[in-house]
Amino acid sequence: MTENNLSFLIRGTIFKVYQALGPGLYESAYESVLAYELRKMQIRVDQQVPLPLVYEQVSMDVGYRIDLLVENKVIIEVKSVEKLLEVHHKQLLTYLKLSGMKLGMLVNFNTEDINKGIFRKVNGL
């Protein structure tokens, strides 16, 4: 399945989770339910995937974690904040760069309109 196909399924699943839970929960709740729903569709999802920083060919474990990694192709960064900041967008772009992956999705569940809380990010490689 391509990244675009996966992002279409992920987006639909985000809407389903948001409709069921609404805003105001912890990020971990949305992460768990989103992973559960994707797995029900036979989609591989890994949670809290360690992401090392490689500097001068040395891999350093500095505590970076990918919230959800879908089919080893799409990173999902889950937030539940009053307002997304520029740093949240940059965080996902950095994860894409460090991992070498092409596509990421940033989602803020703490919003009145989930349409305005979903952002696709592409790694320019």
The residue-averaged pLDDT of 50-63 equals: 87
Q: Diameter of the chain by CA atoms?
A: 46
SS3 of 106, please?
Answer: strand
- Overall domain count for the chain: 1
Q: Is the pLDDT of residue 125 over 80?
A: no
The residue-averaged pLDDT of 48-71 equals: 91
Domain that holds residue 50: 3-122
Task: Indicate the pTM of the whole model.
Answer: 0.93
* Predicted confidence band of residue 94 (pLDDT cuts 50, 70, 90): very high
Q: Which of 43, 49, 40 is nearest to 68 (CA)?
A: 49
* Predicted confidence band of residue 26 (pLDDT cuts 50, 70, 90): very high
pLDDT in the model for residue 39: 98
* Predicted confidence band of residue 61 (pLDDT cuts 50, 70, 90): confident
Amino acid, res. 80: S
User: β-pairing, 103-108 with 74-79?
Assistant: parallel
Amino acid, res. 50: P
For the packed helices 27-40 and 3-21, what is the interaxial angle rounded to 10 degrees?
A: 120
Q: Is the pLDDT of residue 55 over 90?
A: no
What are the Cα distances from residue 103, in Å, to 10, 19, 70? 12, 25, 10
Contact 98, 125 (CB under 8 A): no
